[in-house]
């Protein structure tokens, strides 16, 4: 479990993380989202003691990272896969990391197997592709068999096979009861990987909720229905903030009302429904709506140009 209380980080005049409090629970995958520069990496770095908070604290299983006698066994982190520039082989790199914690060859071989690095384990890490580097970073994070995993952009640079592998891996780690804290800009992937989301914008938390609640709260969602009395229902639903579209005579697509509100209006009017389907917003839509005012490096003008 990760617990942050009033956590802040300032770099000179720049406040990268501004008084945030959150808990990352075990047994589920918690996604960490936010626009570029929102403070995600800074927060993750503070969890593992690579950056010192300007105020507040962040604890892993009740202690600061540095207070753990064997931190690799508590928290495994993939923070910057490119940081490993070494002439060592992957096998020797992991062995050297493990040596500080009494972790031996058997566990090193195990994580090499888990991350699909067998065929390149003897090769110099310096020559690794981005994807191989990511796999090695994940192998390093898993080395101490930690109860908490922090993965900053783990699918960056991975091919579709690798992306699916990370998804399966993190889901199984969470199912084993571990705490998994994961950042990614790939919304479609996050949507199928995370159970819970923490969204940062300009250093502050703008959402901290289960994935399903974030999707359900997104406005602009539509409700689709089929009814033999579709025209009468369209009239009954008419209201200033409601739009009703009809592609076929027995079908309606409604925005501005929930499925429950549509069903209740139909019941009050004595109208028969054959189908009533709430259309959830995609995570990408929900995310765009949440972070609309918090994008530091806005490309609004450009995207408007392109959309024209």
Q: Which residues of this chain interact with ligand ATP, rule CB under 6 A?
A: 11, 14, 16, 34, 36-42
**How far apart are alpha carbons 179 and 58 in whole angstroms?**
15
Closest approach of ligand ATP to the CB of residue 175, in Å: 27
Closest approach of ligand ATP to the CB of residue 51, in Å: 8
Closer to ligand ATP by CB, 74 or 153: give it.
153
Helices (H), 65-159: 71-74, 90-99, 105-114, 130-142
Closer to ligand ATP by CB, 34 or 154: give it.
34
28-33 and 179-183 beta bridge pairing? parallel
Closer to ligand ATP by CB, 19 or 250: give it.
19
Ordered DSSP codes for 240-286: TT-EEE-SSTTEEEEESS-HHHHHHHHHHTT---SEEEEEPPPHHHH
Closest approach of ligand ATP to the CB of residue 306, in Å: 22
Closer to ligand ATP by CB, 35 or 256: give it.
35
Please give the C-alpha separations between residue 164 and each of 28, 167, 169, 192, 193, in angstroms, as whole numbers. Answer: 17, 5, 9, 10, 10
Closest approach of ligand ATP to the CB of residue 296, in Å: 6
Closest approach of ligand ATP to the CB of residue 203, in Å: 7
3-state secondary structure at position 136 = helix
Closer to ligand ATP by CB, 48 or 223: give it.
48
**How far apart are alpha carbons 7 and 59 in whole angstroms?**
10
């Amino acid at each position: 479990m990760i617990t942050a209380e009033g956590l802040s980080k300032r770099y000179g005049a720049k406040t990268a993380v501004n008084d945030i409090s959150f808990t990352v629970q075990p047994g589920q995958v918690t996604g960490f989202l936010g626009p570029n520069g929102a403070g995600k990496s800074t927060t993750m770095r503070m969890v593992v003691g690579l950056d010192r908070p300007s105020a507040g604290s962040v604890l892993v299983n009740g202690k600061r990272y540095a207070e753990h006698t064997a931190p690799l066994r508590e928290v495994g982190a993939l923070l910057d896969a490119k940081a490993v520039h070494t002439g060592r082989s992957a096998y020797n790199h992991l062995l050297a990391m493990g040596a500080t914690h009494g972790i031996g060859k058997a566990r090193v071989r195990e994580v090499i197997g888990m991350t699909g690095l067998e065929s390149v384990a003897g090769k110099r890490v310096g020559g690794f592709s981005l994807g191989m580097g990511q796999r090695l970073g994940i192998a390093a994070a898993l080395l101490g068999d930690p109860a908490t995993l922090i993965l900053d952009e783990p699918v960056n640079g991975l091919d579709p096979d690798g992306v699916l592998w990370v998804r399966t891996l993190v889901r199984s780690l969470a199912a084993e009861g571990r705490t998994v804290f994961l950042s990614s800009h790939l919304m479609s992937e996050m949507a199928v990987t995370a159970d819970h989301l923490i969204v940062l914008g300009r250093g502050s938390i703008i959402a901290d909720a289960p994935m399903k609640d974030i999707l359900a709260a997104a406005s602009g969602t539509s409700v689709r229905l089929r009814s033999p009395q579709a025209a009468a229902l369209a009239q009954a639903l008419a209201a200033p903030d409601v739009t009703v579209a009809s592609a076929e005579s027995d079908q309606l697509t409604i925005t501005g009302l929930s499925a429950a509100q549509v069903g209740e209006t139909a019941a009050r009017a004595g109208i028969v429904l054959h189908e009533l389907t709430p259309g959830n917003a995609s995570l990408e839509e929900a995310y765009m709506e949440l972070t609309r005012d918090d994008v530091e490096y806005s490309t609004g003008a450009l995207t408007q140009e392109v959309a024209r």
